Amino acid sequence: MKDNVRLSSISSGIFLTLFALILATFAGAWAYHLIQSKRIAAEEIRLRKDLADGNRYRAWTLDYAQIYLALDILSKNRMTQNQKFKLSEEIWMISRNYGFDPLLIPSIVFQESKGNPNAKGRFRSGAESGAYGLMQLKVPTAQAIGKRFGISVESAEDLMRPEVSIIVGSAYLMRLVGRYGNLKKAIIAYNIGQGGVDAKIRSREAIPTFYYEEVLAKYRKLKRLVSERLGEGAQDF
């Protein structure tokens, strides 16, 4: 009887030991898989971030390329390579900071001066309008805007410097967007002035949209020309 009890005790001990070993094995496997799952999840998060960063950098690069090609198309060798690079960077930063299409500023340049840094605006009568440079700014307007950015504008010659015209002209457009809270009205005011738009709003008259539609037409044309250039570039690889 004692032998049976002893054997039973031994069997129970062996069973408990095996059970403990199996339990420990399962616990170890579970812990291992848990660690692996966390590692895989962390790796997935990192890969998603890398992918998002890569997509963002590609988008930024494409935006810069579009701006540069647009300026290259418009300038027709009237600007140096260095000027085009510098202006592309300035416009890229503006479009990124304000969430605008990268071809917005080049489209206004297209409409205003056809990309000629030395352009002098004229009325239909042939008399000079007093607007100069790529974005066709008048000296008093440019002086008022330039002061806020530490840019000195003393004469028409200053406005014929591409970097001055782009920075001051873009800042003026941004100011108009802030005033009206509306890109369409801002673009129209860029052409007919704040006074013209405000007068139409006060009198509840329709605001003329011809200039805005012309800018949109220039945008569509630039978009097509830039896309063609990018397509040609892709075929070279």
Domain tally for the chain? 1
Tokens representing 207?
């605001």
Give 181's DSSP letter: S
Q: pLDDT tens digits, the chain, 237 residues: what are they?
A: 545 545 456 666 666 676 667 766 777 777 776 676 666 666 555 545 544 444 556 777 899 999 999 999 999 889 999 999 999 999 999 898 888 899 999 999 999 999 999 999 877 777 778 899 999 999 999 999 988 888 889 999 999 999 999 999 999 999 999 999 999 999 999 999 999 999 999 999 999 999 999 999 999 999 999 999 988 754 332
> pLDDT tens-digit profile of 102-123?
999 999 999 999 999 999 987 7
What stretch of H or E contains 129?
A: strand 128-132
Query: Domain of 133: which CATH number?
Result: 1.10.530.10
The CA–CA distances, whole Å, from 197 to 100, 171, 177 equal 22, 18, 13
Q: What is the sign, positive or negative, of the torsion defined by CA atoms of 107, 210, 217, 116?
A: negative
In a domain, 7, yes or no: no
C-alpha 26/C-alpha 34 separation (Å) is 12
So what's the pLDDT on residue 217? Answer: 97
Q: Are 136 and 119 in contact (CB under 8 A)?
A: yes
C-alpha 122/C-alpha 125 separation (Å) is 8
C-alpha 122/C-alpha 225 separation (Å) is 28
In a domain, 11, yes or no: no
Closest CA to 217 of 118, 137, 111, 121: 111
Q: Is 101 helix (H, G, I), strand (E, B) or coil?
A: coil
User: What's the chain's Rg over C-alpha atoms?
Assistant: 33
In a domain, 111, yes or no: yes
> pLDDT tens-digit profile of 145-161?
988 888 889 999 999 99
Identify residue 214 by its one-letter amino acid code: E
C-alpha 137/C-alpha 159 separation (Å) is 7
Q: Residue 151: which domain range? A: 52-235
In a domain, 116, yes or no: yes
In a domain, 27, yes or no: no
